[in-house]
Amino acid sequence: MDQFTINLLFVGGSFALYFGIAFWARAGSTKEFYVAGGGVHPVLNGMATAADWMSAASFISMAGLIAAGGYANSTFLMGWTGGYVLLAMLLAPYLRKFGKFTVPDFIGDRFYSQTARLVAVACLIIASVTYVIGQMTGAGVAFSRFLEVDNNTGLLIAAVVVFFYAVLGGMKGITYTQVAQYVVLIIAYTIPAVFISLQLTDTFIPAIGLFSTHTESGLPLLQKLDEVVRELGFRDYTADVDNKLNMVLFTLSLMIGTAGLPHVIIRFFTVPKVADARWSAGWALVFIALLYLTAPAVASMARLNLLTTIYPSGPTEQPIEYAERPDWVQTWETTGLIKFDDKNGDGRVQFYNDVPAFQEEATARGWEGNELVVNRDILVLANPEIANLPSWVIGLIAAGGLAAALSTAAGLLLAISSAISHDLIKGSINPNISDKGELRVARLSMFVAIALATYLGMNPPGFAAQVVALAFGIAAASIFPALMMGIFSKRVNSTGAVAGMLAGLISTLVYIFLFLGWFFIPGTASLANTPDNWLFGISPLSFGAVGAVINFVVAFTVSSMTAPPPKEIQDLVESVRYPQGAGGAVDH
């Protein structure tokens, strides 16, 4: 049986499962559509939250970024993990105690203002749409490879699939689908990692294998990797970063952005009571840890395998001939995600860091430029092929990569549709809309969001994980401070909250657009996205933390100069801060 057929069996089988669950658990009311009826078991909710959280960025792109950047890109891992702890400890139980469907619900009621609600809706939509772009980009990468089509066709297929089960099932269908997707993605991620760890280190636990001895050379694995990349002009894999400020701000931006992500927060409204929200968070951390402890090992081993494939006799010897390149390279070339340009006409594949510092060495070897471009987002998906693992493992990781991308995309689309239908339409424009009418608007807004994300996914402003990092920055600068002040400060009023959210959102968006293009439209960037142009060396991916500080400062300053919130609002804050039980999520 050929690889394409095996891929179809694994992917088709998993999709049949998702569609079956979506049909079985289809939503018949707004409560089922928004919060799955409020009766999900904490363990299942923890598993669904983990699938919602471990997106295409985690499954597909994070290991690729760590593989390319080494220690410097471990900030993705640290920021996302730390952020989930913040969410579980500081926000989830209190928001569950409040008992409303959505984040704008909380902000609108806590700050007693329709304007605050509308600003929160805008912040949520902008952050979520940016996030969905990253998921659709990752899904397009996976579909294009395993269905052997071009990247844009793969993206369109992904859009159709996620639209079907997200629109039909709502949160109820998405929750149980995500439980199945978690099982698929975690098996798909860990089994290839175990195989590759055994190949390279004789250790079957990848996280331990990362710090074990490389079998072939007898050196520690990371030392061997450092030597190989150094010989090709790259920085040492374990090298420290030069700009500590940017690293700290980027990690902080990811952390507080995580804690402000609406599609994760809404998951804590699906359980019966506050204690269940806490247990859900604990279980989710356990399920997330299974992948996040494995990712650094997958990244390091993928980088080493890629380089030893191109330089089988070592980085100081001749690389492989292009005509003898492995089958997996040829397959990925058809997707456009691997490109080869024989610049010196020798028929061999020169892959190195084409920078001035390495120019003398490259010239001495007869090289006239780096000839191979490998999209970072493919490394995890290509890893089993690079390591010559069995065909069924490749099919399994195909299903896992798609499960990761589609699970998060569905959660984000639900957050967008609920913000539009519940908070904007029912909360502000037409409070008397019927239950059926609200469901219709929710599904229509989901369709529009998918169409927009698909278009932008064809022209993304970066790799999947980088696009996701932008979304985290936007959430960090706008939503997280408002939630924190809403829960822990009785003095912040509606005027301060609105001013703070707008200041944080606008400053962050302007900074991002300056370097990555206005509204992410290619070719519209005002400045080159290089460290020389960044303010104090702060990259657009890191600016969310600065935006959050601006939000806090503006909100507290404006609130101190205006009237305090009414007493009933201060009493509400007091009751939310001491969660002594909560009823079901309340529609209003």
Q: What is the pLDDT along the chain (588 residues), one digit of tens a residue?
A: 777 888 888 888 887 887 787 777 665 555 555 555 556 788 888 888 888 777 766 777 788 889 888 998 888 888 888 888 888 788 877 887 877 667 888 899 999 999 999 999 888 888 888 888 777 777 777 777 777 777 788 888 888 877 776 666 566 667 777 788 788 888 888 988 999 999 999 999 999 999 999 999 999 999 999 999 999 999 999 999 888 899 999 999 989 988 887 777 777 777 777 778 778 888 888 898 888 899 999 999 999 999 999 999 999 999 999 999 988 888 888 878 899 999 999 999 999 999 999 999 999 999 999 999 988 878 888 888 888 888 888 888 878 877 777 777 777 777 788 788 877 888 778 888 887 888 788 888 888 888 887 887 777 665 555 677 778 888 899 999 999 999 999 999 999 999 999 999 999 999 988 988 887 777 888 999 898 999 988 999 899 999 999 999 999 999 999 999 999 999 988 888 764 544 455 554
Query: How confident is the model at residue 468, as a pLDDT?
Result: 73
Question: Can you list the positions of beta strands (E) in 377-533?
Answer: none
φ, ψ for residue 100, nearest 5 deg = -105, 170
CA distance 255 to 551: 16
Token digits of residue 571 = 């009493």
The helix (H) or strand (E) run that includes residue 136 is helix 114-146
Token digits of residue 57 = 């960025």
| 340-341-346 Cα angle (round to 5) | 110
Beta-strand relationship, 372-374 and 338-340: antiparallel
Contact yes or no for 9/396 (Cβ under 8 A): no
Contact yes or no for 53/459 (Cβ under 8 A): no
Give the list of residues 6+ apart from residue 556 with CB closer than 8 angstroms, or none: 485, 489, 491, 492, 496, 500
CA distance 28 to 306: 49
CA distance 235 to 224: 13
Contact yes or no for 238/71 (Cβ under 8 A): yes
CA distance 494 to 42: 34
CA distance 367 to 81: 42
Contact yes or no for 67/302 (Cβ under 8 A): yes
Token digits of residue 147 = 């269905």
Look at residues 303, 307, 330 and name the one whose alpha carbon lies nearest to residue 320. 307
Its sign, for the CA torsion 97, 98, 101, 103, is negative
Give the list of residues 6+ apart from residue 420 with CB closer than 8 angstroms, or none: 121, 125, 441, 442, 445
Query: How confident is the model at residue 588, as a pLDDT?
Result: 47
Helix count and strand count (H, E) for the chain: 25, 2
Query: How confident is the model at residue 260, as a pLDDT?
Result: 80
In the CATH scheme, what is the code of domain 3-307+384-577?
1.20.1730.10
Contact yes or no for 538/245 (Cβ under 8 A): yes
Contact yes or no for 186/291 (Cβ under 8 A): yes
Query: How confident is the model at residue 478, as a pLDDT?
Result: 93
Domain ranges, ordered by start, for the chain: 3-307+384-577, 309-380
